[in-house]
Amino acid sequence: MHTNKRGVGLYLFLTLFFPFTTLQANALKVKKVYLSNGLLVLLKEDHALPLVSLQAWIKVGSAYETEINNGVSHFLEHMLFKKTKKYDIGEIARVIESQGGRINAGTGKDATVFYINIPKEALDTALEIVAEVIQNATFPEEEIERERLVILEEIKRHEDNPEAILWDAFNQKIYPTIPYRFRIIGNEETIQRMSRERLIEHYRNYYVANNITLVIVGDISVKKLLPQLEKIFEPLPKKGPLRIPILLENRKQSFFVQEKKSVQQAYFIAGFLGPTVENDDQYALDLLATILGQGRNSRLYKKLREEKELVWSISASLLTQKGSGIFLISGEAAAEKVSQAMEEIYQGLLNVQKNGINEKELARAKILIESGWLFGNETYSGKAYTLGYGTTLKNIDYAQKYLKNISRVQVQDIKRVFDTYFQGEKPNAIIFYPE
C-alpha cells in the first residue's frame, strides 16, 4: 500500500490526538438494515458535501462461473445499463450525466459492483435507475452483439499486455482445481458463444435481493430514505439457496515456469497460497507484504533495486479473497538479471522465516497501511467502496475493524503466520523472457 510524506505526516499528526481505531469507527459508522425481501442496505449520513455515492454490490464474479460460461459476469456487467423496461438504449448514461453524475461498473472474481456518484438533488433518479437495472434489464439482441465485439476487442488488448497474461498464467497454475483460475474477462471461445439465454439465466440467478448489498454514503437523511428504499426495491425477488462455489485450493503447488514472449524485458510473479478472508492470518501477511515490497524503504526494494540493481521494479502484496488468497511478489528486470533477482527474493523470504522482522519495520508498515486506508476513504465513493467490498467479501465488521485488526499484530505474529504458509521451499514462479 503506497503512501507519501503527506500521508505519513497526517498519520503522525492524527495519532497525537486520536487512536486510529476511533478514526476508522467514525469514518465507517453506518446504519445497517435488511429490507423485507432480504436486500442488505448500508447507509452513512454525511453532510459535509452536497453529494451522494450509491453502489450496488452483487455476490457474483468469475469465481461463480464454469469453463462453459466463463466471462458471463463481465458480459452481464456490460449489458446492465444498455436498456431496461423504462430506459431506452443510452438513456441511463444521458440522464445521470445531465444531472452532473457519473456512472460505472466493474467485475471481479468474487463480486460485481456498479455505482452512481451524483449531486444529492438527483438521488431519487439514481435510486430509480439502480432499481431498474437490478430488476428490469432487457438484453436486446442487437446490443448483445455490439457488446460481444467490444469484449472481444478487450480480450485482444488484454492478450497484448504481458503483465495481464502473466497474471492469468499464474492464476491458472496456482488454482488448478477451483474457479479462481478463470479470467474475469473470459476467453474468445466462451464470449463468441455467449447466448442471450445464458446472460438472462445468470442475471435471474444472482441479481436477487438476498445476494445484493446496497450502499449509500453522503448528504442523505437515513430516516427519510429507509421507507423510500423499501418501496423502490420491494419488487426485487428473494431466492432460495444460491450456488456457492468451492474456493479452497487444497492441492500443494510447486511450479517454476519460464517462457519467451514478445517483451522488451523480463516480467515475473512469485508467490504461494495464503489464507481466506475468514482467517485473521491475513492481517499479519498484509503487514509483511508492506515490509517486503511496498515503498522505497521496503526490504526487497532496497536490496534488489537500490543496492544490487537487479530489478526495474518490485512489489509485494497479499491478495485476500473469499477463498484461498495469494502472497505475491512481482516485478520487472533485465533478462540477464532476473535469475539472480529470483534467488535474492528467495533468500529474503528465508531471512524472514529465520529472523522475523523488527519493531521499527512493523511500525512503518502500520503507518503505511493506516494512512493509505485514510486516503482511500476521503471521499464518499471511497467510503462506499470500502463498506461494499468488505461486506460482500465477508461482513460489515470486516470493513469497519480492518485497522483495529492491523493495529493488534505483533512482531511474533508475523513470523508465526509466515511459517504457516511459507514452507522454506522456493516460491512458485512464472517468468516471461524476451524472445
Handedness of CA 275, 280, 281, 284 (dihedral sign): positive
Q: What is the pLDDT of residue 243?
A: 86
| 185 in Cβ contact with 71 (< 8 Å) | yes
**What's the rounded mean pLDDT across residues 133-147?**
97
Q: Which of the four pLDDT bands, split at 50, 70 and 90, describes residue 23?
A: low
Assign domain 256-434 to its CATH superfamily.
Metalloenzyme, LuxS/M16 peptidase-like (3.30.830.10)
Q: Is the pLDDT reported for residue 201 higher than 60? A: yes
Q: Is the pLDDT reported for residue 138 higher than 50? A: yes
Cα separation, 105 vs 57, whole angstroms: 10
Give, in words, the CATH class of 35-233. Answer: alpha beta
Residues of the chain with CATH 3.30.830.10: 35-233, 256-434
Q: Is the pLDDT reported for residue 209 higher than 70? A: yes
Cα separation, 184 vs 110, whole angstroms: 10
Q: Is the pLDDT reported for residue 2 higher than 80? A: no
| 166 in Cβ contact with 430 (< 8 Å) | yes
Q: What value does the mean pLDDT of the chain take?
A: 93
Q: Is the pLDDT reported for residue 49 higher than 60? A: yes
**What's the rounded mean pLDDT across residues 16-21?**
45
> What distances in angstroms separate CA 397 from CA 344, 393, 403, one per listed residue?
38, 11, 11
- Of all residues in the chain, what percent carry a pLDDT higher than 70? 94
Q: Is the pLDDT reported for residue 161 higher than 70? A: yes
Range with lowest mean pLDDT among 7-16, 127-136, 386-395: 7-16
Q: Give per-residue pLDDT as tens, 339-379.
A: 999 999 999 999 999 999 999 999 999 999 999 999 999 99
Q: What is the pLDDT of residue 251?
A: 78
Q: Is the pLDDT reported for residue 281 higher than 90? A: yes
| 284 in Cβ contact with 417 (< 8 Å) | yes
Cα separation, 159 vs 263, whole angstroms: 12
Q: List 428's β-bridge partners, or say none.
A: 271
- Taking alpha carbons only, the member of 37, 428, 34, 73 closest to residue 243 is 73
Q: Is the pLDDT reported for residue 3 higher than 60? A: no
Q: What is the pLDDT of residue 404?
A: 96
Q: Is the pLDDT reported for residue 289 higher than 80? A: yes
State pTM to two decimals.
0.92
Cα separation, 357 vs 187, whole angstroms: 42
Q: What is the pLDDT of residue 113?
A: 97
Cα separation, 267 vs 271, whole angstroms: 14
Cα separation, 247 vs 7, whole angstroms: 36
Q: What is the pLDDT of residue 18?
A: 42
Q: Is the pLDDT reported for residue 240 higher than 90? A: no
DSSP 58-79: ES-SGGG--TTTTTHHHHHHHH
